[in-house]
Amino acid sequence: MKCRTLLATALLSLLALPLPAALAASSDWTRTPGGDLRLVALPPDRDGAVRAVLDIRLNAGWTTYWRDPGGAGVPPSLTVSGATLETIGFPVPKRLGTDDLHYAGYDAPVGLPLRLRAATGPITAAVFLGVCKEICIPVQTELTVDPGRERSADPLEETIVAAAEAALPAAASAGLEPVSGRWSADGKTLFVRFRAPAGTPPPEVYVSGPAGVQFGLAEAMTRKGDGYLAEVPVLFRSKHADLSRTPLLLALRAGARTMEAPLPLE
Domain 5-166 grouped into CATH 3.40.718.10: no
Q: Which tens digit of pLDDT belongs to each residue from 49-106? A: 999 999 999 999 999 999 999 988 889 999 999 999 999 999 999 999 887 788 999 9
Q: What mean pLDDT do residues 32-49 have?
A: 93
Where in the chain do CATH 2.60.40.1250 domains reside? 5-166
Sign of CA dihedral 153, 107, 179, 249: negative
Identify residue 161 by its one-letter amino acid code. V
- pTM for the model stands at 0.88
**177-262: what fold?**
Immunoglobulin-like (2.60.40)
Of 149, 137, 124, which Cα lies nearest the Cα of 21?
124
Q: How many CB atoms lie within 10 A of CB 184?
A: 12
Q: Which tens digit of pLDDT belongs to each residue from 6-20? A: 334 433 433 444 434
Pure H helices in 106-264? 155-166
